Structure 1
């Protein structure tokens, strides 16, 4: 296969994607899975893994960045399908999935944030950039407050997932956050 996209052959892209998927699942159950087992489970040789990810840190960083890019890209997709407030709340649920994935990679990520390979500021800025169009569309349509910054929403989300005792509490806290962002209570909350 010689069709090149992003500089990689189609089969090489498929192998890279499969490695990322298998590695993400592996890190979810083991903080230090063997790279050989990841390659084997992905159906590729260890050389293919090392060509794509020369170090364990490079693999962890790629998993994290893939999750971050995926979450960021979903904001525009949701806004195209839903009213701004509904899209923002749905994006918050997607953020919950991202928070779980980040927690699963926590040990590996800790070793990378110290030397600066992945910075909290860069991640927050990327997520805030994804939230801002949702907030702007909501303010323009009159359903969301116009005085809220994307960084404040992201910081609130991080806080919720740091302190929530369980998924049910996190859901209730997300609903409270949304109520604070709306110009009027949600129709289901009106009394």
Structure 2
């Protein structure tokens, strides 16, 4: 006799930034222990996300994380890199799901039945939980990268194209964790190359 379905929710964080990896999470919630206050991570404060991360990790039946690097984003494009991170998150689950629900309109190639759910991070508790884990983990990564690449403000804007980030990019040029295929970064590289080519030796 088969047990209840095990639904894994999957979401990613970091498709829009100009720098840093894209991070995905997969979560199988325990129907008997659903965390209170789950919502789309973008609608929660950083403190609330941090508190929910601990609850999700302690109460979920299983959870996994996956990451796609800046090099993979530049090589495969951000959509395919996001799908790759999702594959890795699902592969990291310690329990095999019977169904995987993906936030958005595209599913990665998986060995389990999968469905895409547009707006799923606000509709499906397991996807909401995944969105929270992915966001918290990626923010933590960007805070660490800020210490390795000071001056850009990564700890504040997390790599998103804010005015402050664009100004730092124009002033300092791209660093090792900037996505070379993204327009503003590509323009910064072109400016740097042009300046180097026209520089007159002293």
Output the TM-score relative to the length of structure 1. Answer: 0.32
Which structure exhibits the higher relative contact order, with contacts defined as CA atoms closer than 8 Å and separated by 6 or more residues?
A: 2
Name the TM-score, length of structure 2 as normaliser: 0.30
Structure with the larger helix share: 1
Q: Which of the two has greater strand per residue?
A: 2
